Amino acid sequence: MAFFRKNNDDGSYFSTIFFFAANCNIRAIIAVKSFQEYYVVALIVDDQISVVSGLFCGINWGKIGIEKVCKAYNAYEAKNIISHNKIDILLCDIEMPMESGLDLCVWLRENNYATLCIFLTAHADFMYAQKAVKLNVFDYVLQPAPYAEIEQVLVRAVEKLQQKRISEEIYSYGKMIYNSREKLLDAVFHPVFTDPEYDAAGELDDIRKLGINLSSDSQLYLSLIVSGNDGRSRYQRQNIEDSVKKYFTAENQNIVLFSVNSGEYGCVVYPESDWLIPFDAYMNQLQSVQKEIIANSGIHTAVYAGRSIRPEHIRETAGRILAYKNNMLEDACGLFDVDKIPPYTDSCALPDMRIWQDMVRDGHPEIMITETENFLKKISSGIGGADILKKFYQEYMQLIAVLLSGQKTSITDLFDDKETMETVLSSYKSADRMKRLVYYFSEYFENENSKKEDESLVKKITEYIDDNISEDLRREEIAEYVHLNPSYLSRMFRKETGKSLKEFITDKKMDLAQTLLKSTNLTVSMIAAKTGYTNFSLFSQNYRRAKGKLPSGDRG
């Protein structure tokens, strides 16, 4: 806990900090208190009743901390609800009759509502995204998107509301109840990138209390370091901070590093005295920082940097940085000057999917890998890469649907679990994920083309099972024996036999067990061992499931 006492001589503040317990997380205590006292209300707006109903029923609102959900089917109804209720989160379609979602957001801003806006749209239109950024929209989700993806956006929105609530409570009592400078810096600087209403001039007093010597006339640089989450956020943050300090303290510059999102860190560079490092030298140092982070972590790292500014323009610069970043691929790598726009990669031509279709049908799916890799290299470091990759993804998935239709199958047949399907549906977000998706389908079609007769393959598998019936047979082991992908093996086997591989193996083992029970004097436990079971209870359960009785019931 900390308390602040005013020095009557010069008006400055100093703090005395008492730690009552080494592991006491004061921030968490406040978070719990605020969560109990603060209810989050959301509003869904869409002119399609089915969409509103789907979102209302398909999202687990309570789980993500939203207590109440209102519904509206046009902007007029939405305004009426907002005027009479405190709406924290707006989940809104862009294209609606009369007034669009953008118009509704403009109305919110003009009337000083602090509602977080999340747009849902089926159109990957850069102009929409650009307008959304100008309106400080919280997020922009391209439809169709799985409910899980929308839930993740809502979770972040609730977390932002919660953090704002915590910060307001802390400042309203005039206390800084955080147990570390790191968390305190996050609380003060995090809103630079997340709060459209962030007022840098109003925050300067609190910033100076932290020993950060900034005034309204100071010059500084703001950047965003994006270095994917390696699962060791504390270690990762320390490494990044060490690298930044290494290159800038040598130039008599101070730095403040703060967390923005998982794997994303804002960085303020300002001078120790009155001399701010020139922009070219600043960019050279950032280039060294970026390379060192990659060398230390092995993770793709992008640094988005703006020109020198006064504190009053820090939120505006943060907006430009975010707009630039959002037009890049998630796994972009390099140093980017957000005020120097490179050629827009939308001019990069998409591969000719008609040629791909003919080549795959002729037995050459490898063309997809070669041309995809060349295409991704062209768009990986250019602005607009995110948009062009979405277009590529849409055309590619249409091609896959046509090819699978010719084989009387579909994507849902290939990816039968929800988690994998969601991964497929989000592949447009990064070059690496898109590449893995193309590799998967190339391998799939290669297997389809090289496969001769499924009957003989199934016969080979069943013979292997018969020969090894006393072993604990695994799908991966059998797949290795017949040189097939395990997932593909499972699908092919079920298609040919009408049973899953696991069911088939279990039935074979139970048939053998029944024969041994009826024709030999072997003990049940010995018979279980001969059929590859070391767990007698599991053997009995499977036998009863297959034969309708316990093993003892088949004794002669």
Q: How confident is the model at residue 231 (pLDDT cuts 50, 70, 90)?
A: low
Structure tokens at 77: 């109804």
- 35 has pLDDT over 50: no
- 460, 359 contact by CB (below 8 A): no
**pLDDT attached to residue 155:** 93
β-pairing, 116-121 with 139-142? Answer: parallel
**pLDDT attached to residue 265:** 94
- 319 has pLDDT over 70: yes
pTM over the 0.75 mark: no
**pLDDT attached to residue 16:** 30
Q: Where are the alpha helices (DSSP H) in 173-217?
A: 181-189, 191-194, 200-209
**pLDDT attached to residue 185:** 83
**pLDDT attached to residue 247:** 94
Concatenating the DSSP letter of every residue in 294-350 gives HHHH---EEEEE---B-GGGHHHHHHHHHHHHHTS-TT--EEEETTSPPPPGGGSPP
Q: What is the average pLDDT across 141-147?
A: 85
Distance, in Å, from the CA atom of 152 to the CA atom of 39, rounded to the nearest integer, reads 18
Report CA-CA distances (Å) from 286 to 68, 75, 443: 45, 45, 40
The tokens 């398909």 sit on which residue? 58
- 317, 309 contact by CB (below 8 A): yes
pLDDT tens-digit profile of 102-122?
899 899 989 989 899 998 887
Distance, in Å, from the CA atom of 419 to the CA atom of 60, rounded to the nearest integer, reads 17
Specify the 3-state DSSP secondary structure of 266: strand
Strand pairing partners for 220? 309
**pLDDT attached to residue 230:** 54
β-pairing, 301-305 with 334-337? Answer: parallel
Q: How confident is the model at residue 383 (pLDDT cuts 50, 70, 90)?
A: low
- 411 has pLDDT over 70: yes
Q: How confident is the model at residue 420 (pLDDT cuts 50, 70, 90)?
A: confident
Q: Indicate the range of 209-213, 256-260, 305-309, 363-367 predicted with least confidence.
A: 209-213
Report CA-CA distances (Å) from 453 to 449, 460, 474, 492: 11, 11, 23, 11
Q: How confident is the model at residue 23 (pLDDT cuts 50, 70, 90)?
A: very low
pLDDT tens-digit profile of 172-214?
654 444 446 778 788 889 899 988 888 877 788 878 877 888 8
- 38 has pLDDT over 70: no
Share of the chain above pLDDT 90, in %: 34
- 227, 293 contact by CB (below 8 A): yes
The tokens 């001399």 sit on which residue? 275
Question: DSSP 3-state helix, strand, coil percentages of the chain (rounded to 5)?
Answer: 55, 15, 30
- 163 has pLDDT over 90: no
Q: What is the average pLDDT across 388-409?
A: 86
pLDDT tens-digit profile of 451-500?
655 667 888 999 999 999 989 899 999 999 988 888 888 988 888 888 99
425 or 544: which carries more pLDDT confidence? 544
- 342 has pLDDT over 70: no
Q: How confident is the model at residue 162 (pLDDT cuts 50, 70, 90)?
A: confident
**pLDDT attached to residue 442:** 87
**pLDDT attached to residue 501:** 92
Q: Give the orientation angle of helix 49-58 with respect to helix 147-172, to 10 degrees.
A: 70
The tokens 């995204």 sit on which residue? 129
Q: What is the mean pLDDT of the chain?
A: 82
